[in-house]
Chains A and B, each alone.
Chain A
Amino acid sequence: MTSTVSLEESVPSVAPGQARTRTAALLPSWSPKLAVGLTIAGIIIGWAIVGPFLVQDPNDISTNWFAHPSAAHWLGTTQTGQDVWSQIAYGTRGSLLIGFGVAIIATVLSGVFGILGGYLGGAVEEAFALFTNVVLVIPGLPLVIVIGNYVPQNHRGLFLIAVVLAITSWAGSARVLRAVTLSVRNRDYVAASRVSGEKTWRILLVEILPNLIPVMASQFVFAIIFAILGEAGLSFLGLGANGTFTLGTILFQAYNDLALTQGAWWWFVPPGLMIALFGAALSMINFSIDEIINPKLRNSTRAARKKWGLTAAQINQLEQENVK
C-alpha cells in the first residue's frame, strides 16, 4: 500500500544531478498557479498605484448618463454621467489601501494577543483571552456609526473604516492562533528549548512561530480579503467611506441607483469582479507560500507527477492505490 507520505520520500523532486542552491530552496518552486497569481495581483496593484494618474477625473459629471461601454467611456457611465473606468481605478487604490492596512494591523494584533498569550500562560493568558473574547463580541455595525459621528468630518473616510475593520477583525484570528499555540507549546522540542535555558522570545521566534506560519500566512491573506469585503459590506449598508472612492462605495452607488434593475451591468459587475480577481490571485500566491513552509506540499501535484515520466496508466494506478 502506498500513501502520499511514502511516495514523496522515495521520489526526488528534481531530475538527478540538478541540485538546488540554498536560496533557491527557500523560494517557492515555480508553478502555473503561482505565476498566474503573481501576475494578476501584480497587475492590479500596479494599476492601483499608477492608474489614477492616467485616467480622467472620476468626479466629472456629464449629461451622458447610463451610457453603454464605448470608445469614449471604456466601462460606460454612471447615473450622473461619471466615467466608470476611472472610478474603478481610484476605487482599486482605495480598496487596496484599506486591505493591506487592515491586514497588517490585524495580523500584528492577533499575533500579540494570540501567540504571546497562548505561550505565556497564567494570568497573562487569561487576561489576553478575556480581552479577545470581549472584542469579539463588540458588534461592528453600530460601532461604525458611533465612531463615524465622533470623528470630525475631514478625518473620516478610509482611515475610519480601516480602524473599525481592524478592531473588529483581529479577535477571530487571535483565538485561532492561541488554540494552535496551546497545542504546539507542549511539544518535545519546545520543552527541550525551555529546559536548555533559551530565552522566551527566542523560543517564540524560532520554535513556535514557524509552526504557526502556515496559519498566519493564510490569515494574512484572508485578512486582506476580509478587509476589502468588509469595506464593501459596510458601504453596501451606506456606512462606507463617503467622499473617497473604493470598490465598495462604487458598488453602493450602483446598487442605490438601481443599476442592475435598469440593466446597467457595466457599473455593477466590474467592481465585484475586480475584488474577486484580486482575491483569487492572493489565494494562489497563498498556495505557493505554503510550499516554502512545508516542502511536502511541493511535489505531489499532478504537474509534478507528470515530470516523473510515468505513463498515464501508471499515474492512474498511483491514484487508484489511494482508494482502498
Chain B
Amino acid sequence: MRFYLQKVLFYVVALWFAVTLNFLIPRLMPGNPVDILISKMGAAGQPVTPATRRALEIQLGTGGKGNWFTQYGQYLNDLIHGQLGASLVNHPAPVTEVIGQALPWTIALIGLSTVIAFLLGVGLGVFAGWRRGSWLDNLVPATTMFQAVPYFWLALILVLFFTRWHQWFPYAGGYDVTTTGPSLSTQFIGSAIYYGFLPACTIVLSSIGGWMLGMRNMMVATLSEDYVLAAEAKGLRPRRVRLTYAARNAVLPSLSGFAISLGFIVAGSIVTEQVFSYPGVGQLLWTAVSNDDYALMQGIFLVISLSVLAANLIVDLLYGLIDPRTRARA
C-alpha cells in the first residue's frame, strides 16, 4: 500500500514541475502573436494601419496584464478550475474545445498504431529470441533497417507510391468529407479506417523493429537464467516456459519503453499529421507554435505532460504487480 501511495505522490510532484515548465516555455518564445498576425494580414492583402495593432490587442485580449508572477498565480488558479483559456488563433473558441476536436483523431491513429506495433514487435521478438537460428533471425535486420529510416522519409515515399503512382489509398485527411461526417455510422468508421490505414502502416513499419530487437535481446538473456533451465528440467511445455517464465521477465524493459512511447503519442504525431494532413493535435501544436498562441500551446503541453505522466504511473504500478522484486525495498 505504501508503495502505491508513494508512487502517486511522486507523480503529483512531477506534475507540478511539468505545469510550471508549461507556463514558462511559451513565454520564453520569441515574437508576439499580434506581430505575427499583422505580418500575415499584410501578406494576405488586408490593410494594416498603425491602429491595427491596438485593435488586435483588444480583440485578442493580449497586451500585458501584470508580471509573470501574477500571471502564474492566475494560470494555476484557472488550471484547478479546469479553465484553459481561449485560443488566440481561433479566438474566442476555448482551448478545451479546440483540443477536444483534434485529440480523438491523434489518440485513435497514433495510439492504435503504437499498440499494434508494440504487440507485433514484442510477439515477434519473443519468437525470435526463443527460436534462434530460424528464419525469424533474418527478419530482425530487415525490420531494424525500417526503424533506422527517418519516419517522414518513409512516409513520403509510401505516399508517393500508394497515393500518386497507384491511387490505392487517399493522400490526405481523416475521412472522406464528401460522403460522410463524424458520427457513429459504419460509413464514417469505415471511411476513417480507410484513411487511417496508410498512416498507421507507416508508423507500425517504422517502429516495429525497435520493439522486436529489444525484446529479442532480453529474451535471449533471460533464457540463460537458471529458473528457465529449472522449468525445462521440470518438464513443463515449451510454450509455458516461453511465456510464463522467459517472456514475462524479458518484457519488463520493453514495457517501460512502451509506457514512454504511449506518453509521447501526442507529442510525436506532428510529423505524421504534417505528411498525411491528419486532423489531429500535432497540426494544432504546430499552428499554435507558429502563431505564438500561448493558451493553446499551454493546453497542448498540459495534455502531453498529463499523458506522459499518467502512462508512466500506470506502468510503474503495473510493474509492481508483474515483478514483485521491485516492490520489495531494501
Chains A, B in direct contact (C-beta < 8 Å): yes
Name A's B-contacting residues (CB within 8 A).
1, 3-6, 33, 121, 126, 129-130, 133-134, 136-143, 145-146, 149-150, 172, 175-176, 179-180, 182-183, 185-186, 214-215, 218, 222, 225, 229, 232-233, 236-237, 248, 251, 255, 260, 268-269, 271-272, 275-280, 282-284, 286-287, 290, 294, 296-297, 300-302, 304-305, 319, 322, 324
CB pair B133 A300 closer than 8 Å: yes
Neighbouring A residues of B160 by C-beta, 8 Å? 260
CB pair B256 A296 closer than 8 Å: no
CB pair B229 A300 closer than 8 Å: no
CB pair B217 A134 closer than 8 Å: no
CB pair A183 B325 closer than 8 Å: yes
Kindly specify which of B56-64, B67-75, B146-154, B191-199 makes contact with the partner chain.
B146-154
Neighbouring A residues of B325 by C-beta, 8 Å? 182-183, 186
Query: Assuming A133-B11, A142-B289, what are 9 further A-B pairs, CB within 8 angstroms?
Result: A130-B14, A137-B14, A137-B17, A139-B301, A145-B29, A146-B29, A232-B152, A301-B133, A304-B133
Query: Whose C-beta in chain A lies nearest to the C-beta of B323?
Result: A183
CB pair A141 B267 closer than 8 Å: yes
Partner of B260 from A130, A175, A324 at Cβ < 8 Å: A175
Partner of B134 from A186, A248, A284, A319 at Cβ < 8 Å: A319
Partner of B28 from A134, A146, A182 at Cβ < 8 Å: A146
Judge if B82 is at the interface, Cβ distance under 8 Å.
no
Query: Whose C-beta in chain B lies nearest to the C-beta of A318?
Result: B133
Neighbouring A residues of B286 by C-beta, 8 Å? 237
A312 CB → nearest B CB, Å: 14
Neighbouring B residues of A149 by C-beta, 8 Å? 28-30
Neighbouring B residues of A280 by C-beta, 8 Å? 141, 144-145, 148
Residues B121-163 near A (CB distance < 8 A): 130-134, 137, 140-141, 144-154, 156-157, 160
Report the separation of the CA atoms of residues A255 and B160 in the bound assembly, to the nearest whole angstrom.
Answer: 12
> 8 A-B residue contacts at CB 8 Å?
A139-B22, A139-B301, A139-B304, A142-B301, A145-B30, A275-B153, A294-B224, A324-B238
B210 CB → nearest A CB, Å: 7
CB pair A251 B137 closer than 8 Å: no
CB pair A272 B18 closer than 8 Å: no
CB pair B150 A232 closer than 8 Å: yes
CB pair A214 B221 closer than 8 Å: yes
Query: Whose C-beta in chain B lies nearest to the C-beta of A180?
Result: B253
Report the separation of the CA atoms of residues A84 and B179 in the bound assembly, to the nearest whole angstrom.
Answer: 44
Judge if B308 is at the interface, Cβ distance under 8 Å.
yes
Residues B207-263 near A (CB distance < 8 A): 210, 213-214, 217-218, 220-221, 223-224, 228-229, 232, 235, 237-239, 241, 252-253, 256-257, 260, 263
Given known contacts A129-B10, A272-B150, is B260 in contact with A3 (CB within 8 Å)? no
Judge if B329 is at the interface, Cβ distance under 8 Å.
yes
Query: Whose C-beta in chain B lies nearest to the C-beta of A296?
Result: B224
